[in-house]
Chains A and B, each alone.
Chain A
Amino acid sequence: MKALRSNKPRENLTGWAFIAPLGILFILFMLVPILWGIYLSFTNQSLTGAGGDLIGFDNYAEALADPDMWRSMLNTVWFTVLSTIPLVVVALALALLVNTGLPGQWLWRLSFFMPYLLASTVVSLIWVWLYNPQLGLFNAILGWFGIDPVTWLQDPDLAMLSVVVTTVWWTIGFNFLLYLAALQNIPETQYEAASIDGAGRWRTLASITIPQLGPTTIMVVVLQLLASLKVFDQIYQMTGGGPAGTTRSAIQYIFETGFTGFRFGYSSAISYIFFVLIIIVSVIQFRITARRSA
């Protein structure tokens, strides 16, 4: 490092030259929108160009008193709770099953990972069709057992759950592969030691495998919570936020107030309230994981 200091002016220039291409894009498409968004949130700017006057904290005050905003935030949190649990637990179960060394590894990996490659539009096309009350596969299967058709996506009590099932099917492959990779990194000597000590299958799972997966589980949960909080695509395409707003997500509310309600200022304010929610979740998570690994 001392040797590098000798040609410092030149190294300064080269360093910044390497960063410049990304730096320019970063400033233009990250920093500017972040700051512009904060500014917009204090104005009554509309999409059509009208307005634009500074109105202080009015947008924030309105948002905090807006039942629709709270509803969309609560829906998002509810979706996150409902989806994160199976997306972690089932992913782990699938990885454990596949990792028992059964034949056909590539087939299992392909089966569980392939949906992750699909675009949200494709996923929602297929699943809206599967959930179709008259023609869908699910009601056809229920029919074999003499069960009456169910309106999966139109029933306020079932719509969110149906979207969660779709999401689990669609995205579980990623967590599954993370667990699979982690399982294959557990040293075999630990299993040999356990079997010498006479540990059975369940005992080995509880005292070796699961503890060894601790760091992976923390990472999977962190990534999953952040991903689930940002849900929009599949819900918007499958239910449009309905029935009666029961599945409308925070991102959808931001999108609607901005691009169909034309209220850019108000929409920006909600964006930042949502961002604060994400930061709070991240901090809580960080606290928990820090305590655990301490």
Chain B
Amino acid sequence: MSTLTEQHTVPAGGRSAASIAPARKKKLGPAGIAALVVLIVLAVAWLLPFFWAIVTSLKSETDAASAALWPAQGFTFDAYAKVLAEGNVPIWAWNSLFTAALITLITVLTSALAAYAFSRMRFRGQKWAYIVVIAAIAVPPQVLIVPLFYEMLAMDLVDTYWGLILPQVVQPIIVLILKQFFDQIPIELEDAARVDGASRLRVFTSIVMPLSRPILAAVSIFVFVWAWNNFLWPFIIINDPQLMTLPVGLQTVKSAYGIQYAQNMAMAILAALPLIIVFLFFQRQIIKGISTTGFGGQ
């Protein structure tokens, strides 16, 4: 596993990755060609479901409901037009964006503050507080759905944005990752400011946070992707179609649309598009994020 200290040396871009790879790559021998062929076959296999979904979404409903690969009536954007005109897809996309952004902001901000206290300060009860937070990493959030829902009922937060957002902002693993990063920052950088009389908060905002920009970016991207794609909790807490996120909305209309395959596929493509665009833009950061922090979730 790559550690946080190595994060500046881990190549993220295509060229640097190739340049650090074993030297035997230079000439494409028979083994290299064989590897290339295998890779091409596998990549095609991996991309085939995407290709199939796109093709289906561009068919008319009559063509989509036949097994023929090539549509008799030609390609059309009808399905997209219908989904966007009739459905709640734009509202759901906005809900997903809005809630995922807020979850990311609250999670990263509160986690960074706590991680900084755990990393740099010495105070009564600190050790115990840290142990409790770290122990919570072992608790699968899915196990808490029943008591959490009950709590939301008691707090009158069922079917509200806050009921959707708040239970998703506590992610102990993020605290652990940020604390490990803060531990690596040389303490001398802060000492000078401390001697000059800067408060802890001031040191945190004007020295530590700017230095941590790469890890904050990586962590934010991941929290955002998880929140954007989360299904079970939004599915449980939201019934109002106006408040649904994309994954929940898609699940509810999948049965309503029934056999309208082209529209189903058009919705799938529309829902997938934003994150794929985000990935294309932030490819380096995401890969760096994965390779430096080594955390995951499904």
Which residues on A are within 8 Å of B, measured CB to CB?
Answer: 1, 4-5, 8, 11-12, 14-16, 18-19, 21-23, 25-26, 28-34, 36-37, 40, 45, 94, 97-103, 105-115, 117-122, 125-127, 129-130, 134-135, 137, 140, 169, 171, 174-175, 177-178, 180-185, 188, 191-192, 195, 201, 215-216, 219, 223, 226-227, 229-233, 237, 251, 254-255, 258-259, 264, 267-268, 271-272, 274-275, 278-279, 282
Contacts and interface: CB of A to CB of B under 8 A. Distances in A.
A29 B23 contact: no
9 contacts: A15-B117, A29-B169, A97-B39, A101-B18, A102-B28, A105-B18, A113-B279, A121-B271, A177-B291
B101 to A, nearest CB: 16
B49 interface: yes
Interface in B195-228: 200, 204, 225, 228
Contacts of A99: 21-22
B56 A129 contact: yes
Given A119-B272, A182-B2, A219-B1, A254 B143 contact: yes
A229 B140 CA distance: 10
B69 interface: yes
Contacts of A177: 287, 290-291
Contact of B166 (A28, A101, A119, A169): A28
A119 B276 contact: no
A122 B146 contact: no
A267 B146 contact: yes
Contact of B147 (A40, A97, A114): A40
Contacts, number: 313
B126 interface: yes
Contact of B109 (A21, A31, A188, A191): A21
B47 interface: yes
A117 B114 contact: no
Given A120-B229, A184-B20, A230 B140 contact: yes
Contacts of A11: 121-123
Contacts of A22: 110-111, 113-114, 133, 170, 175
B190 to A, nearest CB: 12
Nearest to B124: A12
A67 to B, nearest CB: 21
A121 B297 contact: no
Interface of B: 1-2, 6, 10-11, 14, 17-18, 20-26, 28, 31-32, 35-36, 38-39, 42-43, 46-50, 52-53, 56, 64-67, 69, 106, 109-111, 113-114, 116-118, 121-126, 129, 132-133, 136, 138-140, 142-151, 166-167, 169-170, 172, 175, 200, 204, 225, 228-229, 231-232, 236, 246-248, 250-251, 254, 261, 264-265, 267-268, 271-272, 275-276, 278-280, 283, 287, 290-292, 294-298
**Binding site secondary structure of chain B:** helix
Given A33-B147, A102-B25, A135 B261 contact: yes
B32 to A, nearest CB: 6
Contacts of B143: 37, 254, 271-272, 274-275
Contacts of B11: 184
A103 B50 CA distance: 23
A185 B53 CA distance: 37
A114 B54 CA distance: 15
B271 A19 contact: no
Nearest to B129: A19
A170 B256 CA distance: 25
Contacts of B294: 178, 181, 219
Which residue among A112, A119, A229, A258 has the maximum number of chain B CB atoms within 10 Å of its CB? A119
Contacts of A201: 31
Contact of B25 (A101, A127, A134, A230): A101
A230 B298 contact: yes
B20 A188 contact: yes
A268 B39 contact: no
Contacts of B117: 14-16, 18-19
B42 A94 contact: yes
A171 B104 CA distance: 22
Contacts of A121: 231, 246-248, 250-251, 254, 268, 271
Contact of B22 (A18, A19, A114, A191): A191
B47 A111 contact: yes
Given A26-B170, A40-B147, A185-B2, A171 B298 contact: yes
